Structure 1
Amino acid sequence: MSKVLEKIISIRKPKSPISESYRGIRTSIEFSNLDKEMKVINVTSSMQGEGKSTVIANLAVNFANLEKKVLLLEGDLRNPSVHRMFNISNINGLTDILLKDKAFAECVHCTDVKNLHVLSCGAMPPNPSEILSSKKMKEFITSLREYYDYIFIDAPPIGIVTDAGIISTYSDGCVFVVGSKQCDIEMAKIAKKRLEDVGANIIGAVLNKFEAEGNGYNYYNYYYQHESGRKGRNKKKAAAL
């Protein structure tokens, strides 16, 4: 496994409390799929630096682990970061498909995670909003629905530009990421209203970068250490924290 993918905690520490939290978010999204198809999901935040790209990468990995065909698509055409998280090329990507008629197969990347594909931004355009709102973009997303079980779109912060609102119009659901001790509450309210104004289906919020110090997390760590010790050849009693 590449060192880059090891930076994604759902891969590096699958039994950690944070990884379990991502599985919990995955379950919540699955349950929200009962009455309405929840196939195209975008993730946004109110401002930069709240960790939305980290959240969406971990969610994509967790859904791929369910033997689902997953595409992680770069929707931030102003400040793309998905390609860096997976250490893939950004030479060809979404904009090359939409503007240069490149084939999807030429631009999409396989990853070391089974069932997970990544489509980067490609050349950064001068008119991101127009591209994201174009008929060609909507038709492209529609075509992807036929092949993938889940399509996760990393959208720009809704509190900065309108792009995430545009993406929400052809998404089935939107996940709103809030950085603990970072996000301004008034900015978060403005961002939420902007999503609601375009009819976005906000299926939930993720409190990111939260540092918990409590018995619940300690018990969780103890439980996994204890279970791992029981299954190992040398059965060692886990120390209580």
Structure 2
Amino acid sequence: MALKKDKKMNNKRNLVSMLDPKSTIAEHYRTIRTNIQFSSVDQEARTLMVTSAGPGEGKSTTVANLAVVFAQQGKKVLLVDADLRKPTVHYTFNKTNTFGLTSVLTKQLKLEEAVVESAERNLYVLSSGPIPPNPAELLSSMAMEVFFQNALEEYDLVLFDAPPVLAVTDAQILANKCDGAILVVSSGRTEKDKLEKAKESLEAAQSKIIGVVLNNKKIDSKSNYYHYYGTK
């Protein structure tokens, strides 16, 4: 029973925009959503990846909540777990990971067969699927190009939970394919030189960094943290 309770508490914290939409934190996610939309007025960004310099900085929580608030706006959203080494999206949404993105890329399943509905209306989830021996090769394959085409035919917005930039090359590969990238920074944890290296790596991949989310920033005794979005 304790394990189930802990799991529910973790999901409530991770999916605050869905489970506590009137909270201050949920409102901050909606502010980030608005700023993303303002940053791409001339050309709507329909494929976005969220990443960080290193692990444990909150990228997966951020992208999950962004997916929720975009879906709440009425957009048909697909959240893709593109972290093919340490996937977490299936945990966040209590889904299976026996099939997913890797199943689609290796042509074991069609996209519509691998996608599952979430508890949030308009939000669909594609877990990573079985962890492959060659994540970078899969993400840079022609199958991934086809995936983008098929996903954009079906969904208004595709959000990718990408691996940390400095850990592997996967994020750079994905960044080159997406309309924009969002970099999550953990206050008091992310080192400045690593953040700069992450930014340089994304720019080297010709990625458009549309903003930075500052995570876990303490503001006062009544608030645990907030999220700040700003352009680079």
For residue 102 of structure 1, report the CA deviation from its aligned partner: 1.0
Partner of 2:132: 125
Q: What does residue range 12-51 of structure 1 map to in structure 2 within 5 Å?
A: 12-51=19-58
Bigger mean CA offset, 97-106 vs 200-209: 97-106
How many angstroms apart in 2 are the aligned matches of 1:82 and 1:43? 13
Cα gap change, 1:5 to 1:113, in 2 (>3 Å): farther
* Equivalent residue runs for 1:80-229 within 5 Å: 80-213=87-220
Measured in 2, the distance between the counterparts of 1:70 and 1:192 equals: 26
Gaps of 5+ in 1: 218-241
SS at structure 2 position matched to 1:117: strand
Tell whether the 8 Å contact from 1:5 to 1:11 is kept in structure 2 after alignment. Answer: no
* Alignment-mate amino acid for residue 72 of structure 1: L
- Of 6, 9, 12, the residue aligned with 2:12 is 6
Letter in 2 for 1:102: L
Name which of structure 1's ranges 54-63 and 137-146 shifts more when overlaid on structure 2. Answer: 137-146
Look up the equivalent residue of 1:146 and give its one-letter code: E
The 1-side partners of 2:11 and 2:119 are apart by 8
User: Structure 1 length as normaliser, TM-score?
Assistant: 0.85
Q: Matches of 1:155 and 1:129 in 2, distance apart?
A: 12
Counting aligned pairs with the same residue, the percent is 45
Return the match for 1:72 from 74, 79, 84: 79
Report the Cα distance in structure 2 between the residues aligned to 1:6 and 1:46, rounded to whole angstroms.
Answer: 25
Counterpart code for 1:18: I
What is the deviation of 1:32? Answer: 1.9
Q: Unmatched 5+ residue regions in structure 2?
A: 1-6, 224-232
User: Tell me, what secondary structure is at the counterpart of 1:88?
Assistant: coil
Contact 1:42 1:153 in 2 (8 A): yes
Offset, 1:120: 0.4
Runs of 4+ residues deviating >2 angstroms: 2-7
Shift of 1:11: 2.1
Output the TM-score relative to the length of structure 2. Answer: 0.89
Count, aligned residues: 215
Whether the 8 Å contact between 2:37 and 2:44 is mirrored in structure 1 is: no
- Which entry has the higher C-alpha Rg, 1 or 2? 1
**Match for 1:35: what amino acid?**
D
Report SS of the residue matched to 2:17: helix
- Please give the alpha-carbon distance, in whole angstroms, between the structure 1 residues aligned to 2:44 and 2:72: 20
Q: Deviations over 1:163-193 (max 9, x none)?
A: 1110011100100000111101100000000
What's the Cα RMSD here?
1.7
How far does residue 46 in structure 1 lie from its aligned partner after superposition? 0.2
In the alignment, the residues of structure 2 paired with residue 207 and residue 45 of structure 1 have an alpha-carbon distance, to the nearest angstrom, of: 11
